[in-house]
A and B are shown apart, each in its own frame.
Chain A
Amino acid sequence: MENVSNQQIIDALQGQFGEEAIYGIAESHGILQVTTEVEHIVPMLHFLYQHPVLKFQFLTDLGGIHFPEAKGQELGVIYHLHSLENNVRLWIKIYVPIEKPEVPTVTGLFATANWMEREAFDFYGIIFEGHPNLIRILNVEDMDYHPMRKEYPLEDATRDDKIDELFGR
């Protein structure tokens, strides 16, 4: 087993996809984070999966995120990858505009992405194109909005026993 450094991962990605495609490089708790464009995400995950050394073959998690202030890239998808062989982790982020939240599915590569993408769709309304069954997974089927988007309040509007005065609000 050889040690794979974060710089090695950056070099491999930039060598394959070009320097301008990999940006927002940061490190958190020793885990590399990179941002890329939507069109690169599927080839990038395939590349990392098939790479003879890196072998990022485990999709630990896939989640959505919403930044209302970031105009043109309000919604994001974050892929958490793990190379079990090297014990190295990697986050890849992509951002899409809220008017057109379309992201290609990665279910073709990782079967586990099926439910994760359904969850991100359920809570953020991100459309994963090519997903075999993109329906709500956790919320009630007849819900008409995506509750984790920040324009919606967390609290239930029908609650009637919370009197603001008693709660110091």
Chain B
Amino acid sequence: MSDAKINIVEAPAGLEGQGFFATSLDSLVGMARANSLWPLPFATSCCGIEFMSTMASHYDIGRFGAERLSFSARQADVLMVMGTIAKKMAPVVKQVYLQMAEPRWVLSVGACACSGGIFDTYSVLQGIDRVIPVDVYVPGCPPRPEQILDGFMQIQELAKNESIRRRNQPEYKALLESYGIE
């Protein structure tokens, strides 16, 4: 068993002794959250195809605890927006975000979701950060699955190191208010 190639998540830093282990609740909750993030794929175009590859066995997003896709916004932790968002679609993205429960993260995948990409035109939203706050941007047109995984790992880092009270901070509330949320 000792040489089995199984990766187990490392315990957070803490005080260890005979029969006990002490650490902060923040880091324990962070560890649990980071390794069981349920993504909600919001795939509208070619970046969505890259996501399918990311999700499938070759790249396997399940290695990061995210194999359980949540197609219900209420149970999702990460909103992955992949693809061009037309202005007519913007209220839909926002509504999906509003339906998600805290804590929630947003991963913007690809040039279109990040900035409008090549679609510099009257009908396309010039970046989803105009309607919802974004945590991690993944550049590329479309980005390769490795890049999407890297973006996802950045979200994991955020989840791991986030203070439990972050969502109650006035800064966070001000951020949401700047988007007209709550």
A161 within 8 A of B: yes
Mask: chain B, 105-134; 1 = CB below 8 Å from A; 0 = not: 000000000011000111110100010000
Q: Which residue of A lies closest to B114 (CB)?
A: A161
Whole-angstrom distance between the Cβ of A159 and the nearest chain B Cβ: 5
Residue B167 at the chain A interface, CB threshold 8 Å: no
From B87, B122, B126, residue with most partner A Cβ within 10 Å: B122
Number of residues from B at the complex interface, CB < 8 A: 11
| B124 shortest CB reach to chain A, Å | 7
* B 143-181 binary contact with A (CB < 8 Å = 1; else 0): 000000000000000000000000000000000000000
A1 within 8 A of partner (CB) = no
**B88 in the interface, Cβ–Cβ < 8 Å?**
yes
Known contacts A139-B88, A140-B88, A161-B115; is-contact A155 B121 (Cβ 8 Å) = yes
Closest A residue to B86 by beta carbon equals A140
**Cross-interface CB contact of A152 among B122, B126, B130, cutoff 8 Å:** B122
With both beta carbons as reference points, the residue of chain B lying nearest to A141 in the complex is identified as B88
Report the count of interface residues on A (CB-CB < 8 A). Answer: 14
Q: How far is the CB of A33 from chain B (nearest CB, A)?
A: 29
Chain B contacts for A153, CB-based, 8 A: 122
A85, B122: Cα distance in complex, Å: 41
Provide the residues of chain B in CB contact with A138, threshold 8 Å.
88, 123
Check if B121 sits within 8 Å of A154, measured CB to CB. yes
> Nearest CB to that of B90 among chain A residues?
A140
Q: Is A7 an interface residue (CB 8 A)?
A: no
Interface set of A (CB-CB < 8 Å, partner B): 138-140, 147, 152-156, 158-162
